[in-house]
Amino acid sequence: MQIRIAGLVPESFVDGDGIRFAIFMQGCRRNCAGCHNPETHDLNGGRLVDTDEIISAIKKNPLLDGITLTGGEPLLQIAAADELARAAKNFGLSVWCYTGYTFESLPPEAEPLLAHVDVLIDGEFVEGLRDLDLQFRGSRNQRIIDLKKTRAQNKIVLWSEIGG
Ligand code: SF4
């Protein structure tokens, strides 16, 4: 399957917990003021790569703790993101995913992907709520959500609440 990406960071220390393979997915319609990755907005920009190439690069690195789907808006390419997420789970890796959607407004069609996501960082970047001290997110409205616990407990459980 093909995926349109802005870039890959094979060993990232800033896109989630531990050492992570970060996939910067191409395309976002939100145009948040102050967005740090405006080059990822063009839906036809970036480049097309085969998900198998990314999966084999992930598989080759025994140091990884997980993968991070970021962008851009990962939920614009749900099927490809899901393929990467499923492969990562098969390798015993955690999956973090950024999205401009809030948890409460996630589209139902994202459910197959979200079933394989451990941690969701939700919400648009809001320039007025920007805070450089925040870990793994740009503005205070964004939440680092432990998606598995949130689903099990039927209430939002933040990742930081469990020792992150
Ligand atoms: S959702 Fe993310 S990538 Fe899209 S415009 Fe906002 S900050 Fe940028």
Ligand 1 within 6 A of CB of 75: no
Whichever domain contains 99, its CATH number is 3.20.20.70
Please give the Cα distance from 72 to 67 (Å, whole number).
16
pLDDT tens digit sequence for 44-88:
999 999 999 999 999 999 999 999 999 999 999 999 999 999 999
Check if the beta carbon of residue 65 is closer than 8 Å to that of residue 94. Answer: yes
Residue 146 Cβ contacting ligand 1 at under 6 Å: no
Ligand 1 close to Cβ of residue 35 (< 6 A) = yes
Whole-angstrom distance, CA of residue 83 vs CA of residue 87: 6
Q: How far is the CA of 62 from the centre of ligand 1 (A)?
A: 31
> What's the number of domains the chain is made of?
1
And the tokens for 154?
């039927």
Q: Are 62 and 49 in contact (CB under 8 A)?
A: no
pLDDT score for 161? 52
26 lines ligand 1 (CB under 6 A): no
First to last CA, the chain: 33
Domain that holds residue 63: 2-162
10-residue block means of pLDDT along the chain (164 residues)? 98 97 98 93 98 98 98 97 98 98 97 97 96 94 96 93 48
User: Rounded to the nearest whole angstrom, what is the distance from the C-alpha of residue 34 to the centroid of ligand 1?
Assistant: 9
Position 160 scores a pLDDT of 76
